[in-house]
Amino acid sequence: MAVLFPTIGSWYRRTNGTVFEVIAVDEEDGTIDIQYFDGTIDEIELEAWPELILEAAGAPEDWSGAVDMDPEDYTGDEEGELPAGWNDPLEFLDVAE
């Protein structure tokens, strides 16, 4: 398997299925900053990069991984009720009378 060069903005998948994005490469310090799908930031030594078994991956379609929200935050107070403004972003604006 060919070694993939760490490119800022590119997504990679480890053999265990973990998906992350390269967010910075600091050649001076010899580090690569990565952000996992859940929003966690980590750092990899530039020297260790070629030893990782990685494959290129597409950006996740589900954006909720890095958002700190519980499932209860997606729904309203009553069972099955959606929060106000969920389908109309202008509903949250104050209307001048």
DSSP result, 83-96: PTTSS-GGGGSPPP
What lies within 8 Å, CB to CB, of 20 at 6+ separation is: 11, 12, 14, 34, 35, 36, 37, 42
CA distances from 11 to 16, 55, 88 (A): 15, 9, 32
pTM (2 d.p.): 0.62
Backbone angles phi, psi at 66, to 5 degrees: -95, 5
CATH of the domain spanning 7-62: 2.30.30
- 6-61 pLDDT, tens per residue? 999 999 999 998 899 999 999 999 999 999 988 889 999 999 999 988 999 988 87
pLDDT at residue 72 tops 80: no
